[in-house]
Structures are given as C-alpha cells and as structure tokens.
Structure 1
Amino acid sequence: MFTKKDVKWTLIPASEQELDEVRARCRRLVQRRAAVSAGMSAVPIPGLDVVSDLRLFSELIEDVNREFGLTPEQVGRLQPRFRLLAYQAAVNVGGTMVGKYVTREVVLRMMQRAGAGLVARQATRFVPLAGQAAAAAIGFFAFRQIGYQHVEACARVAQEVMLAQRDAAP
C-alpha cells in the first residue's frame, strides 16, 4: 500500500486478475479500518467515535481510490477519452467519491446516509457495557458496509476503463 508521500502512481488494473487482487486488498483494508472504528465506538467519550470515523473514512476513501488508480491526480493522467469514461462510469455506478478529492463534507454526507446506524450507536451508549459493545458492533458493520460499497464502485469504474483501454489497444 502506498503512503501519501509516495510518488509512485498506481495504474488502473490491466487484467481481471489484477482487479480481483486490488479488490481483495481493499476489502481487507476496509475490515481493518472498520475494526479500528468499532474500537473507538466502544470508548465512552461522546463524539470521539464520530470524529475518528470521519478521519478513518477519509483516509480509507483516499487509499482505496489510490489502489484502483482513481485519485483525481491519477485520473488526470489518463488520456482524455479514458478520463471522461472514468468520470462517466463513476456517475453511472453512483461512486460519489471515486476520482474526486475527499473532503470532510463529502464524508459527512456519506455517513449521514448511514444515519440510522449512527443514531442507534449513540443511543446504545447509555446502557453500560452491553451498550458499548452494541455501539462497537453497529459501528463496525456500518463502516464496513459503506467501505465495501466504495470498493465495489471503484472496481466497476476501473473495470470500465480497463475494458475500454483493452479495446482501444492495437
């Protein structure tokens, strides 16, 4: 996995096998970050889980985009027709964070879509111990679900671009 300081560019996967490997790697990353999110949810400090989720999810989106070769910088380096195709595919699959800069507001909107889980998680905090465990479980599953949706959106966009590049090759 690349760090933010890394200057290497990940290209869009060139084969179905590479695409599957990137997808599996990103799903493991989502699992790890969801576990951290769950751990933060179990800490009985109000608001800490939301702040940590925002940070964790922002980093997750950037990392997944980078792994698939779909950060704004990476998409910008594609040939113009493939760049357009990548953005069109992102719109078609509903990938609101594919190939875009991740801002706090965008992540907040995504988390608000999972709002019922957040409200339930906050409500469970008032029940000692069992409530904290329930909050952690709700946080884990909500974070994982949103993360998996983003991984699948990136995989579909990368596949569209990969197929178009393959068809265009002489």
Structure 2
Amino acid sequence: MAGNIESEWVLVPGSARDIAAVRERCRRLVRRRAVWSAGMAAVPIPGVDVVSDLRLFALLIEDVNQEFGLSADQIARLQPQWRMLAYEAAMGAGGMLVGKIVTRDLVTALLRRSGGKLLARQAGKLVPIAGQLASAAIGFAVFRQLGYQHVEACAEVAQQLLAGRMAAAN
C-alpha cells in the first residue's frame, strides 16, 4: 500500500523546495497574465476587459491548479484519504478554486467580490487617456491580487498534503 501512495504523489510537488519552485513559477505566470489584463483594461471599449478577464483568469486558475497537482482530474486520481485531505485543506486555505473545474460562473463570482475596484475601472474608461491608464492599473492590481491569493491557497494545500505524506511515511 505504501508503494501505491508514493505512486500517487507524483501529482503533487514532492518536497518543500518543489512547492516553493512551483509557487514562484505560478506567481510569474500571474504577473504575466495581469499585464495582459491591464492591456485589455486600457482598451476604451466597455466590457471588453471583463470578458477578457473572465477567460484569462479561468485559464490562470486551471494552469496554477495543474502546476500544483491540484486540478480536478489530478485530485480525482488520488486515493480517497488523500483526496479528502486535499479538499479539506483547500477549504481551510480559503481556496474555493483549488481542485475545481473552473466555470465562467465561478470566476464571475470571484471577480464580483472585487466589485468596487472593477466598477472604478469601468468608470475610468469614461475619461480619455488618464481614465484608461487608471483602468489598466486597477485591472492589473485586482488580477494580480486574486491570482496571488489562489497561488498561496494551492501552495498551502500542497504543504498540507506533503505534511500528511510525511506523517503517513513515519
């Protein structure tokens, strides 16, 4: 049985160093996608940035989950005890998107939590140039903040799974 547990763990970073490396890679990915979000926010057409953010953020969540071995498919392949631990850790970390199939509604709900900033971003589009720059800055900050929160939730879940693995090995 121990050999079977070990074979399942190839899905999750296997050491604290691996988790830290994946975390940093994912943070870089968040920053790159936030730049794209900011670029779309600067487009003076209302609504284009929202549609773009929904798609970019959904892809980001899927990519980060995959990097940490925490996509819905990867978690489904874990043994039941580890799967339960992964979901409990995700709930404890506040990672509502960890291990989930990302839907437009789920991302919309998350972005809606940052509603005031998004409203300010849309209002900024009404003021030429300065408003577009402000909109881009707000878009970058919101996207980066939400992305970083998800990366941290995934890193925490991976740490808890690693701790559970170490405890089971002893």
Q: Which TM-score applies when normalising by structure 1?
A: 0.93
Could you tell me which residue of structure 1 aligns to residue 128 of structure 2?
A: 128
Partner AA of 2:49 in structure 1: D
Give me the whole-angstrom Cα distance separating, in 1, the residues matched to 2:115 and 2:147. 15
8 Å Cα contact 1:10-1:67 kept in structure 2: no
Partner AA of 1:89 in structure 2: A
Give me the whole-angstrom Cα distance separating, in 1, the residues matched to 2:153 and 2:123. 31
SS in 2 for 1:127: coil
Could you tell me which residue of structure 2 aligns to residue 145 of structure 1?
A: 145
The structure-2 alpha-carbon separation of the partners of 1:88 and 1:65, relative to structure 1 and needing over 3 Å to count, comes to: same
State the Cα deviation string for residues 113-170 of structure 1 (Å, max 9, x = none). Answer: 0111100000111111010000000000000000000000000001101110122125
Give me the whole-angstrom Cα distance separating, in 2, the residues matched to 1:85 and 1:62. 20
Distance apart, 1:10 and its partner CA: 6.3
CA RMSD of aligned residues (A): 1.2
Partner AA of 1:142 in structure 2: V
Could you tell me which residue of structure 2 aligns to residue 154 of structure 1?
A: 154
Distance apart, 1:55 and its partner CA: 0.2
Could you tell me which residue of structure 1 aligns to residue 42 of structure 2?
A: 42
Partner AA of 1:163 in structure 2: A
Q: Which TM-score applies when normalising by structure 2?
A: 0.93
State the Cα deviation string for residues 58-80 of structure 1 (Å, max 9, x = none). Answer: 00000000000000110111111
Could you tell me which residue of structure 2 aligns to residue 28 of structure 1?
A: 28
SS in 1 for 2:11: coil
Give me the whole-angstrom Cα distance separating, in 2, the residues matched to 1:73 and 1:126. 43
Give me the whole-angstrom Cα distance separating, in 2, the residues matched to 1:16 and 1:35. 29
The structure-2 alpha-carbon separation of the partners of 1:102 and 1:10, relative to structure 1 and needing over 3 Å to count, comes to: farther
Could you tell me which residue of structure 2 aligns to residue 3 of structure 1?
A: none
Partner AA of 2:48 in structure 1: L
Give me the whole-angstrom Cα distance separating, in 2, the residues matched to 1:91 and 1:20. 21
Give me the whole-angstrom Cα distance separating, in 2, the residues matched to 1:128 and 1:100. 39
Could you tell me which residue of structure 2 aligns to residue 113 of structure 1?
A: 113
SS in 2 for 1:78: coil
8 Å Cα contact 1:11-1:69 kept in structure 2: yes
Note the 1:71-90 alignment, pairs <5 A: 71-90=71-90
Partner AA of 2:132 in structure 1: Q
Note the 1:91-106 alignment, pairs <5 A: 91-106=91-106
Partner AA of 1:46 in structure 2: P
Tell me the matched-pair count: 162
Give me the whole-angstrom Cα distance separating, in 2, the residues matched to 1:54 and 1:82. 31
The percentage of aligned residue pairs carrying the same residue is 61
Gaps of 5+ in 1: 1-8
More helix by share: 2
8 Å Cα contact 1:14-1:162 kept in structure 2: yes
